[in-house]
Amino acid sequence: MPKNDPLKAKLQRDTYLGFDFGLKKIGVAVGQTITRIASPLQTIRSLNDQPDWTIISKLCAEWSPAGLVVGISKQADGADNPVTPRMQKFCRQLEGRFALPVYQIDEALTTYEAKQLLFDEMHVSASKLWAVQDQLAAQLILQTWLNDNTTLIK
């Protein structure tokens, strides 16, 4: 596509990246408001308990998202989990590094749901499960956000 292609520009305005943040790895998904479909993209291993910003930067450069969606874990009563402050820090870092809006969404049980889908329904082996469960959790987070934010569709 040419550099100033209006279709490419429209797709970029409609593209979002979703993240399932974990201390050891981060699942990433991509989706568009135009189709309202999210797809698993990649699992990023953390480096010394820190996000691998090089890979995240490459994904942002490649997809040129209009915004980023991060699942935030809470207790059943709404109180923070021990990892919640790290998730919120990750959101602030994303916003600061990429100057994009970062949307937080309750990720209640998405990793559990991803494991159930992969293990019970798709019969993925335990070794493969570890590699892909976070991508699927990120897809579930982003898909929920896309479904709940229909006003973004233009």
Q: What is the pLDDT of residues 94-126, one digit of tens each?
A: 999 999 999 999 887 566 665 565 555 555 555
State the amino acid at position 13 in one-letter form. Answer: R
| Residue 3: partners with Cβ closer than 8 Å, 6 or more residues away | none
pTM summary value: 0.81
- The share of the chain scoring above pLDDT 70, in percent, equals 73
- Residue 132 burial (CB count, 10 A): 17
Domains of the chain plus CATH, in order, are: 6-152 (3.30.420.140)
Greater confidence (147 vs 123) lies with 147
Please provide the average confidence, as pLDDT, over all residues in the chain.
Answer: 82
